[in-house]
Amino acid sequence: MLCLHHFLPLGFRLAAVEFPFMDVTGASRLRKLLLLMAAWLQLIFLPPGLLVISQSASAQDDAAKTPIQDMVLKGDARCTRCHDEHEKYPVLSIGKTKHGTVADSRTPTCTSCHGESEVHVRNPEKHAFPERSFGKNSTNSAQEKNQACLACHEGGIRMHWAGSRHANQDVPCAACHQVHAAHDKVRDRLTQSEVCFACHKEQRIEIKRPYRHPIREGKVACSDCHNPHGSAGPSMMVRDSINDTCYTCHMEKRGPFVRNHQPVQENCAICHNPHGTTAPNLLRWRSPFLCQECHEPNTHQGAIGSFDAPGGREQNTLARGCLNCHTQIHGSNSPLDERNERLFQR
């Protein structure tokens, strides 16, 4: 550190002069007086630039001695001294998420996810990425990335992640989740579908059809039916079967019914496309074409609708087709063992 006495050689020379003609007390007082006069003279005629250099050097030394304070998480000073809100992907917004809850002892730190990254800290210009990074240019595998998340988020609704479709296709958690963002799109019902449709493009088209679930309005979200972290049921359903998942909203179709329709009991998707169709009631095809996929044409079930034979069975398949008569297609509770009731008619 540069101080004023570095620029006072005259004062030091005067301090070293001996005065043999005086006693010890008088010589000491004279040396101090001359030293003080020399200091004031050099202070008056000292160039201003040297004083600025001295003050700047002192400030730098004081700053070096002051420890860097954590900004959001415990121990994040080693990271936030370089990474802040001015980057392409701001990192300090993590303080607005559950991962930034400092009062929770389970809250992770930067190194919990990114590793100690000693080489990156010492030389960030040469080693641009930490030990574990999650961006598109990351050299870490999907399994290495997901391990950082599964260290805390394992079990519960994620207990079937191992062996799930997303895990088998090496989909990292960061492909859907934004940990540092205050607003994680995949956790918002209004924006969740945008994240899913980035890969599931067929479903993006289907929800724009005339008959669909209100996904675009945010009343139904993808996660209401599917568990993206894996499940014990088919198609990553939140329940153990497709029917059980549908029954969480359409409980009136659950039954039990006295007269059952076998496809209804087997799989709702045999007749319905839940993402959207051009037929009413989310049917895969309009009747009678949908019904004729199963009912063979021995009787009116497979006949093409026509007005050529007035009063004939061919008229039954016109307009709404089969549903003109078979209104209780999901099942009937009539106790009568009559032909009309067995066919789910009125």
Question: Which one is predicted more confidently, 288 or 3?
Answer: 288
Cβ atoms within 10 A of the Cβ of 260, count?
14
User: 256 pLDDT band (50/70/90 cuts)?
Assistant: confident
Contacts of 204 (CB under 8 A, 6+ apart): 193, 197
pLDDT at 6: 46
Domain positions in the chain are 4-65, 77-183, 184-280, 285-346
Q: Is the predicted pLDDT of residue 174 greater than 90, yes or no?
A: yes
Q: Is the predicted pLDDT of residue 59 greater than 90, yes or no?
A: no
Residue pLDDT, tens place only, 227-236: 999 999 899 9
Amino acid at 340: N
- Check: CB of residue 11 under 8 Å from CB of residue 39: yes
Question: Which one is predicted more confidently, 260 or 32?
Answer: 260
Q: Is the predicted pLDDT of residue 49 greater than 90, yes or no?
A: no
Tokens of 99: 């991962």
Question: Which residues pair with residue 179 across a beta bridge?
Answer: none
User: Nearest 5°: phi and psi at 137?
Assistant: -95, 15
Contacts of 259 (CB under 8 A, 6+ apart): 328, 331, 332, 333, 334, 341, 342, 344
CA pair distance 131, 119, nearest whole angstrom: 8
Sign of torsion over alpha carbons 198, 200, 204, 205: positive
Question: Which one is predicted more confidently, 207 or 84?
Answer: 207
What is the average pLDDT value for the chain, to the nearest integer?
80
Q: Is the predicted pLDDT of residue 55 greater than 60, yes or no?
A: no
Question: Which one is predicted more confidently, 2 or 183?
Answer: 183
Select from 203, 199, 198, 153 the least CA-distant residue to 173. 153
Residue pLDDT, tens place only, 282-299: 999 988 888 888 887 666
How many helices and strands, by DSSP H and E, does the chain display? 14, 2
CA pair distance 114, 95, nearest whole angstrom: 17
Residue pLDDT, tens place only, 22-45: 454 555 667 667 777 766 666 566
User: 20 pLDDT band (50/70/90 cuts)?
Assistant: very low
User: 318 pLDDT band (50/70/90 cuts)?
Assistant: low
pLDDT at 248: 94
User: Nearest 5°: phi and psi at 277?
Assistant: -145, 175
User: 244 pLDDT band (50/70/90 cuts)?
Assistant: very high
Q: Is the predicted pLDDT of residue 303 greater than 70, yes or no?
A: no
- Check: CB of residue 235 under 8 Å from CB of residue 226: yes
Q: Residue 228: CA atoms inside 13 Å, Cβ hemisphere, count?
A: 19
- Spell out the alpha helix ranges (H) of the chain: 9-15, 24-45, 48-65, 77-80, 110-114, 118-122, 142-150, 165-168, 192-197, 201-206, 222-225, 242-247, 262-266, 339-342
Question: Which one is predicted more confidently, 194 or 156?
Answer: 194
Mean pLDDT over residues 155-176, rounded?
92
pLDDT at 101: 87
Residue with tokens 């420890």: 67
Contacts of 256 (CB under 8 A, 6+ apart): none
Tokens of 294: 């199963």
Which residues in 198-219 are b (16+ Cβ under 10 Å) and which e? eeeeebbebbeeeebbebeeee
pLDDT at 258: 85
Which residues in 62-75 are b (16+ Cβ under 10 Å) and which e? eeeeeeeeebbbee
Tokens of 131: 């030990």
Residue pLDDT, tens place only, 180-228: 988 999 999 999 999 999 999 999 999 999 999 999 999 999 999 999 9
Select from 220, 229, 227 the least CA-distant residue to 242. 227
The phi-psi region of residue 277 (left if phi > 0; otherwise alpha if psi is between -120 and 50; otherwise beta) is beta
Question: Which one is predicted more confidently, 20 or 139?
Answer: 139
pLDDT at 52: 47
Question: Which one is predicted more confidently, 128 or 296?
Answer: 128
Output the DSSP codes for 265-296: HH-GGGTB-TT-BSSGGGBSS-TTTTGGGTS-
Mean pLDDT over residues 8-17, rounded?
44
Mean pLDDT over residues 332-337, rounded?
76
